[in-house]
Homo-oligomer: A and B are copies of this chain.
């Protein structure tokens, strides 16, 4: 797995959730988590969550941290959704050191009842992907700014989150290689 932190700003428009975006962008030929900062404005044709699409939801933010995860080891929907929830829990764990009142509801985080994040997960015939976005600032929704995370801390946070997921996956891969099969009653 590779962990890549992009320094340039990239606006997330939903095309980045496509399979093989990482290869196209940076010749990545491994499972990967790629983190970057930029606005968020998901076009209707890139919406993966049909609930958003039905409701004509605007997924819009002027400044977000984005995490794009791609795994090629399986196209099982259940696995990518379990990983998405685990990623959400990881983000909560990291943010909780700054603010203990963060609440996780499924794949969403809330501060003071305000939605702080957006996320989606799905599969194609070749890979599984997760997008997770965290508002840096926002007029209406929750934001890192509201927790007091700003300036250089933003980049440090982006780095920390990407690396913790990277390490968690590597650690899982090692753990599952030392357990014998179950007995049966």
Q: Which residues of A contact B (CB under 8 A)?
A: 15, 17-21, 23-24, 28-31, 46, 48-51, 54, 72-79, 81-83, 85-86, 89-90, 92-93, 96, 100, 104, 106-107, 120-127, 129, 168, 171-185
Q: Which of A92, A100, A126 has the most CB of B within 10 A?
A: A126
**Do B178 and A129 touch across chains, with their CB atoms under 8 A apart?**
no
- Copies of this protein chain in the complex: 6
Chain B residues within an 8 Å CB radius of A78: 73-74, 79, 172, 176
* The 8 nearest A-B residue pairs measured at CB: A89-B89, A125-B181, A82-B82, A29-B174, A124-B182, A18-B183, A20-B185, A29-B177
Q: Which residue of B lies closest to A128 (CB)?
A: B182
Verify A185–B50 contact, CB threshold 8 A: yes
> In the complex, A64 Cα to B86 Cα: how many Å?
25
- B46 and A183 within 8 A (CB): yes
Distance to closest chain B CB from A135 (angstroms): 21
